[in-house]
Structure 1
Amino acid sequence: MRLDLQAKSFAGKEILGPIEISVGRGERVAILGPSGIGKSTLLRILAGLDRNFQGRRDGDERLAMVFQEPVLLPWRDALANITIPTGCDRKTAIEWMGRAGLAGHEAKFPRQMSLGQQRRLALARAFAAGPDILLADEPYASLDAETATRMVSLTGELLDRSGAGLILVTHDPNEGAALEARALRLSGTPARLQKD
């Protein structure tokens, strides 16, 4: 995947300036910066969710995204929260739930799971989609330090197992470092990428 961004504006205000970034299968990148700088906006452009920008995005890689919130279907059980969005079969969903430490939770509804379990379910769903690149928008936000550390470790294990690339948006450089991701920092007005 390659992005050659010239500019991104909201209501006439330029938020992101010229940015070039490319990421392939097996590569890991962490996009760092303070809140409000445009990290999530950049990730949405990379994901193809925001097409209202000046520039060009190329690539036919299969993508999966983990959002700041788990974004689960509250009226479906955990297993259906994987099979419905990804189209994978039950066996694949059960395998990824097991890898995410959720074996035995297949029939639970999201409201019956802790936030940490919901985040693991969202991660299992993303990997069950068989992505070439995983896009993660502050997926460990609002978790206590111990749970966040376990989630970072789990993400690394699942990336190693799948061979997927990673674009991680975070304000915590330790998360990127733990995942062996190349650090790029958004700074300035409008924001541009700098090597950390």
Structure 2
Amino acid sequence: MRLDLEAKSFGPRQVLGTLTLSVTRGERLAILGPSGIGKSTLLRILAGLDRQYQGQLQGAERLAMVFQEAVLLPWRDAVANITLPTGCDATTARDWLSEVGLEGHETKFPRQLSVGQQRRLALARAFAAGPDILLMDEPFASLDAATAARMLALTDALLNRTGAGAVLVTHDPAEARTLGALALHLGGCPARFQKD
């Protein structure tokens, strides 16, 4: 996947300036910067969720995304929360639930799971999609330190096992280091990648 961005604006306000980003299967990048700088906007462009920008996005990689919130279907159980969005079968869904430590929770609804368990379900859903590149938008931000550390370790292990690449949006350089990701810092107005 390669993005050659010329500009991204919201109305008259230019948020992102000229920047280039490329990532392939097995590579890990972390986009860092202060709140409001445009990190999530950049990730939405990479995901194809925002097409109102100047520039070009190339690549036919299979993508999956983990959002800041779990974004689960409240009226469906854990297995259906994986099978419906990804198209995988129930056996594959159960295997991924087991991978993230949710064995025995297959028939539970999101409201019956803790916040940490909901995040693990969202991670299982993303990996069940078989992504070449996993896009993550501050998925550990609202978790306590111990739960966030466990989620980071789990994400690292699953990336290693599947060989998927990753783009992580975060404000925490320690998360980038834990995942072994190349850190890219957004700064300025409009925001661009800054040299360290």
Output one character per residue of 1:90-136: Cα deviation in whole Å (capped at 9) or x when no partner.
11111111110101100000000000000000000000000000000
What residue in structure 1 maps to residue 148 of structure 2? 148
Return the letter of the residue paired with 1:136. M
- The whole-number CA distance in structure 1 between the counterparts of 2:158 and 2:167 is 14
In the alignment of these two chains, the number of paired residues is 196
> TM-score with structure 1 length normalisation?
0.99
For the pair 1:72 / 2:72, whether they are aligned, the reply is yes
Q: Root-mean-square deviation (CA), in Å?
A: 0.6
Q: What is the SS of the residue equivalent to 1:82?
A: helix
Q: 1:61·1:132 contact (CA, 8 Å) conserved in 2?
A: yes
For the pair 1:7 / 2:7, whether they are aligned, the reply is yes
- The whole-number CA distance in structure 1 between the counterparts of 2:47 and 2:96 is 22
What residue in structure 1 maps to residue 48 of structure 2? 48
CA deviation after TM superposition for structure 1 residue 195, in Å: 4.5
> TM-score with structure 2 length normalisation?
0.99
Task: Please show how residues 88-99 of structure 1 align to structure 2 within 5 Å.
Answer: 88-99=88-99
- The whole-number CA distance in structure 2 between the counterparts of 1:106 and 1:20 is 41
Q: What is the SS of the residue equivalent to 2:78?
A: coil
Q: What is the SS of the residue equivalent to 2:130?
A: coil
Task: Please show how residues 13-28 of structure 1 align to structure 2 within 5 Å.
Answer: 13-28=13-28
What residue in structure 1 maps to residue 178 of structure 2? 178
Return the letter of the residue paired with 1:193. F
What residue in structure 1 maps to residue 193 of structure 2? 193
- The whole-number CA distance in structure 2 between the counterparts of 1:21 and 1:38 is 14
Give 5+ residue unaligned stretches, structure 1: none
For the pair 1:157 / 2:157, whether they are aligned, the reply is yes
CA deviation after TM superposition for structure 1 residue 194, in Å: 2.3
Q: 1:136·1:167 contact (CA, 8 Å) conserved in 2?
A: yes
- The whole-number CA distance in structure 2 between the counterparts of 1:81 and 1:68 is 17
Q: What is the SS of the residue equivalent to 1:79?
A: helix
Percentage of matched positions with identical amino acids:
72
Output one character per residue of 1:131-159: Cα deviation in whole Å (capped at 9) or x when no partner.
00000000001100000000000000010
Q: What is the SS of the residue equivalent to 1:25?
A: coil
What residue in structure 2 maps to residue 37 of structure 1? 37
What residue in structure 2 maps to residue 107 of structure 1? 107
Moved more, 88-97 or 67-76: 88-97
